Structure formats: C-alpha cells, structure tokens
Amino acid sequence: MYGVDVLTLSIRKEDLPLYEDPIAIAIFFAMEKGTFVSTSARNDGPTPQSMHNGIPWVIIVATSTLNREFHGTLTLGNGASIIVAWPNVLVSNIGQCAFSNFNFLSGTSMASAHVASVTALVKGTHPDWSPVAIRSIIMTTSYILDNTKGPIKEIGDDGGYKPSSSLAFGAGHANPNEALNPGLVYDVGAQA
C-alpha cells in the first residue's frame, strides 16, 4: 500500500556485465517487488548523438525533436523558476543554452522523468498492473511519427536530419492518453 511505485534513475555508470552491476541488480529487485523503473539512455556515445544503457528490465528513455508547444515554468517559493517541458529537446548540450530567468535542462535525464510521470499516471489509474505490464503498455501505445506526421528523424553523419530506423528511435514517443486505455495488456514477471 505504501512504498515506491515509480523510480527514475539518471545516473552514469560503468559498463559491467549485468550479473556484476550493482545498479542493474538493485533495479531488478525493485522491479521484482512491483516498482516501475525508468532510466536515461545516457548521452555518452559510443558516437556523438548516440546513447547506451543495457539494462533490459527497465524502460530506457532518450529524447527527440518533438515540436509541440506545451512548455511551462514552475516558480518555487524562493523565486527560482524551473522549466517544466520544452520543445525541440535534443540530446543535451548545455553549452548552447541562452541565459534567461529559468534553468534549461534537457537530454535523457529529463526525458526519463517525463516517462516516469506517464508511469505514475497509469499506475494511479490501474494500481494492480505490474511494472512489466506498464512498460509494455507505454511501449506499445507509443507513436512513431513526429508532429508533422512524418518519420521521426535523427542527426545524420553530415549534421543534418535523416529519417530514423526503428533501431534508432525504439518504441517511439510516449502517448499518455493511449497508455491509460491500451487494450490488450501483456504481463510477465520475474522468476528465480
């Protein structure tokens, strides 16, 4: 009844075999106990604009170039402002930020939190669904077109944009409304 239902991790770790990786092992036990885990894909390669995170039992989140206007500012009690969501989010390059009245953060760490919020929404509506079922739902209800109804694009070798393959964009863009009413639900669990 009380405890952690959703966990988002955006930390850098060394590449270790899964059976030696303390973070991967802890995440597995969290999933086994019913906690959904979302992690960032990491922005560190092996090549520019590519990501890697090899933990198969979590939802691994990256960012893309979705040009919808649903940004907002959250102002804290101390007067500091935080951007809530922002269009044109690419894999983060903080060095290109313009100075303004709020902090601009982007990249896989921010996207992981957005997917975790979709998870919390689904878990709140369907508290009996397992982390694996919710992961499946988010992935199968995602859409694979950008806001122009064209293919999701990636940065090509020449620095321009090119259509992505499904290996580059994964499941696509998370769709919270569809995730609340997914239809068929595929649920599996951990076994010893």
Three-state DSSP string of the chain: CCCCCEEEECCCCCCCCCCCCHHHHHHHHHHHCCCEEEEECCCCCCCCCCCCCCCCCCEEECCCCCCCCCCEEEECCCCCEEEEECCCCCCCCHHHCCCCCCECCCCHHHHHHHHHHHHHHHHHHCCCCCHHHHHHHHHHCCECECCCCCECEEECCCCCEEECCHHHHCCCECCHHHHHCCCCCCCCCCCC
The verdict on pTM exceeding 0.75 is: no
pLDDT tens sequence across 75-113: 555 555 444 443 333 333 444 445 555 444 555 556 667
How much is the average pLDDT of 34-47? 66
Task: Determine the pLDDT at residue 87.
Answer: 36
Pick the CATH number of 6-180 from 3.40.50.200, 3.10.580.10, 1.10.760.10, 3.40.50.2300: 3.40.50.200
